């Protein structure tokens, strides 16, 4: 028997962090995605236990400042794409600069240096991943609704980027998903 599960990475990660920190009796505050504020400095044994406990789940504590900044950029972009409830179009470069208190050109340079890719490319990849998730889900959203939710100017723009990234048109992707569902 096979079971198929769907889960929210952010919720899972948050629960793992909470469980590990609570088990070690470390006072903390979760500040959004991927940032934990500790009430005090950790003793070496607790720090090692926390690192070990988190590594079991594939979670790593980031120490390099540039890596931290890149992770914060990724987290903010993901949050914007997955959790934005604003109907108005957002400008990713402006939001990142405002939230991180750096110029966008600096953020873009650091991101490219660390990831060998651009923020713009990361945004497109995240949007296409979310579009696939929305098309694969149980909710029957139209491409127009998905394009609107992802702040695309048109269905054609979404379709063009979708095909460029996946090699499939959104319609072809939906047909493949429907075939897979009918086999279950």
Q: Are residues 45 and 110 in the same domain?
A: no
The helix (run of H) or strand (run of E) holding residue 49 is: helix 44-56
What is the model's pLDDT at position 87? 45
Answer whether 90's CB lies under 8 Å from 80's CB. Answer: yes
pTM, two decimals, is 0.73
**How does pLDDT run across 44-67, given as a tens digit for each residue?**
988 899 989 989 988 888 878 899
Answer whether 139's CB lies under 8 Å from 95's CB. Answer: no
Residue 39 lies in domain: 9-56
Residues of the chain with pLDDT under 70: 33, 84-90, 138-139, 184
Question: 106: which 2 tokens?
Answer: 């600096």
* DSSP state string for 14-31: HHHHHHHHHHTT--EEE-
Q: Are residues 40 and 122 in the same domain?
A: no
What is the model's pLDDT at position 89? 60
End-to-end CA distance of the chain: 11
Name the residue among 137, 148, 127 with its Cα closest to residue 177: 137
Q: Are residues 80 and 117 in the same domain?
A: yes
Q: Are residues 143 and 111 in the same domain?
A: yes
Name the residue among 74, 84, 79, 73 with its Cα closest to residue 152: 84
The answer for 101, left when phi > 0, alpha when psi is -120 to 50, beta otherwise, is: left
Residue 30 has phi, psi (to 5 degrees) of -85, 120
Q: Are residues 22 and 109 in the same domain?
A: no
Count of domains observed in the chain: 2
**How does pLDDT run across 61-72, given as a tens digit for each residue?**
887 889 989 999
Question: 16: which 2 tokens?
Answer: 């793992």
Residue 28 has phi, psi (to 5 degrees) of -155, 170
Q: Is residue 3 part of a domain?
A: no
What is the model's pLDDT at position 13? 85
Query: Of how many residues is the chain composed?
Result: 184
Q: Is residue 90 part of a domain?
A: yes
Q: Are residues 28 and 105 in the same domain?
A: no
Q: Are residues 36 and 73 in the same domain?
A: no
């Amino acid at each position: 028997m096979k079971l198929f599960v769907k889960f929210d990475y952010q919720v899972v990660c948050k629960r793992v962090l909470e469980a590990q920190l609570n088990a070690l009796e470390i006072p903390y505050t979760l500040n959004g995605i991927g940032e934990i504020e500790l009430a005090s400095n950790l003793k070496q044994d607790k720090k090692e236990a926390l690192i070990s406990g988190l590594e079991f789940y594939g979670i790593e504590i980031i120490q390099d400042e540039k890596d931290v900044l890149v992770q914060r950029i990724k987290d903010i972009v993901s949050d914007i794409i997955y959790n934005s409830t604003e109907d108005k179009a957002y400008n990713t470069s402006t939001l990142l600069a405002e939230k991180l208190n750096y110029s966008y050109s600096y953020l873009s340079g650091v991101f490219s240096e660390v990831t060998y890719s651009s923020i713009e490319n990361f945004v497109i990849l995240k949007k296409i991943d979310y579009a696939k998730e929305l098309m694969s889900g149980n909710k029957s959203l139209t491409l127009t609704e998905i394009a609107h939710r992802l702040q695309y100017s048109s269905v054609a723009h979404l379709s063009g980027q979708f095909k460029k990234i996946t090699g499939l048109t959104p319609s072809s992707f939906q047909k493949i998903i429907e075939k897979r569902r009918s086999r279950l």
